[in-house]
Amino acid sequence: MTDILQTAVDVIDGNQLHSLIENFKDTGKRWSVKVGFDPTSPDIHLGHTVLLNQLKIFQEHGATVDLIIGDFTATIGDPTGKNETRKIISKEEVIRNSETYTSQVFKILDPDFTNVHFNSKWLDELGTVGLLQLSSLQSVSRMLERNDFENRFKNNQTISISEFIYPLLQGFDSVHLESDVEIGGTDQQFNLLMGRQLQKSFDKKQQSVITFPILEGLDGVQKMSKSLNNYIGVNEEPNQMFAKVMSISDELMWKWFQLLSFQDIKTMKSLHPKDAKASLAFEITERFHGTENADNAQHEFINIFNNHN
């Protein structure tokens, strides 16, 4: 199983994951893995594909992906990693942003083994009474164990009640779907573990939790994010995608190889860094735009580079 989880950081209840995979091999019974994206912007970028690539591998080992488009939770805003309360996003904006999500994720995932869910379907039905009951299952002190909440509390920075609610709602998604496994970035560990805790509170089987590294953006410093304009969207034009990959530092390139590439890194490290980076740029561009477009983008980049030298 180590080959399946090469880039994982934390694996909680890995024995269960192993059993699910082995049972699929023996019986053909598929298992469920959950991942969620809040449509706070219309673009899925390479940072998201770290998880999507892993989900594709899981599908090959018996997983059916429960893809949560957080149209309800996006209106609250995930406070993870934030040092201030997030601006509330309107329902209309969420709907507009989510319109292209399915087509983007199916550039990687197998649609035959993917179920797309909008979590407003069950969270709208939860109602005030249900939300109060859910809130009673966790304490303020437990919420303040989360690093970003703890730091903001110590620094007398505002924490809205809705931000405490967010992890509960994400966790309730796991209760509703009875998820076997949930994956996310390392910054999501608190929220993922909340799913396990709530499943236990509702007398459900607890999900395994797996976290993966955060992909730094083009600047090599900050997490890839549209708001920071350091991202590459999966729908970006091929020439632009190729050129953006070529613009990253050599140091960052190897992190991207680890998290985004299916090529052998040892082989790539035997090449000149410029050639290795070109191979990475070609691979990523080809993945989303096909071989012909990747070829054209590479030739365009070489022509422009040669003209500037």
Lowest mean pLDDT among 29-33, 34-38, 92-96, 193-197: 92-96
pLDDT tens sequence across 118-133:
999 999 999 999 999 9
Say how far apart CA 83 and CA 183 lie, in whole Å: 24
Other beta carbons within 10 angstroms of residue 77's beta carbon come to: 19
- What is the rounded average pLDDT of the residues 93-115? 89
Q: Please give the residue that has the higher pLDDT: either 300 or 308.
A: 300
**pLDDT given for residue 88 in this prediction:** 64
Q: Specify the long-range contacts of residues 46-49, CB closer than 8 Å, at least 24 apart.
A: 46/215, 46/224, 46/231, 46/232, 46/234, 46/256, 46/260, 46/284, 47/214, 47/215, 47/217, 47/223, 47/224, 47/225, 47/231, 48/234, 49/108, 49/234, 49/260
Domains of the chain: 10-212 (3.40.50.620), 238-303 (no CATH)
Instruction: Kindly indicate the confidence band of residue 74, based on its pLDDT and cuts at 50, 70 and 90.
Output: confident
Q: Is the pLDDT of residue 85 over 60?
A: no
Question: Which tokens go with 105?
Answer: 């994720």
**pLDDT given for residue 49 in this prediction:** 96
Lowest mean pLDDT among 4-13, 70-79, 121-130, 279-288: 70-79
**pLDDT given for residue 116 in this prediction:** 93
Say how far apart CA 84 and CA 40 lie, in whole Å: 17
pLDDT tens sequence across 138-179:
888 888 888 888 888 888 888 888 888 989 999 999 999 999
Say how far apart CA 104 and CA 107 lie, in whole Å: 6
Residue 212: closest CA among 45, 56, 20, 9: 9
**pLDDT given for residue 83 in this prediction:** 45
Q: Is the pLDDT of residue 84 over 70?
A: no
Whether 34 contacts 210, CB under 8 Å = no
Whether 83 contacts 152, CB under 8 Å = yes
Q: Please give the residue that has the higher pLDDT: either 307 or 71.
A: 71
**pLDDT given for residue 86 in this prediction:** 53
Say how far apart CA 182 and CA 16 lie, in whole Å: 12
- What is the rounded average pLDDT of the residues 47-67? 96
Percent of residues, the chain, with pLDDT higher than 90 = 71
Say how far apart CA 309 and CA 304 lie, in whole Å: 9
Could you tell me which residues come within 8 angstroms of residue 286 by beta carbon, excluding any fewer than 6 positions away? 293, 294
Q: Please give the residue that has the higher pLDDT: either 232 or 3.
A: 232
SS3 content of the chain, % helix, strand, coil (to 5): 55, 10, 35
Mean pLDDT, all residues of the chain: 91
- What is the rounded average pLDDT of the residues 286-307? 92
Could you tell me which residues come within 8 angstroms of residue 152 by beta carbon, excluding any fewer than 6 positions away? 83, 84, 158, 159
Could you tell me which residues come within 8 angstroms of residue 84 by beta carbon, excluding any fewer than 6 positions away? 152, 157, 158
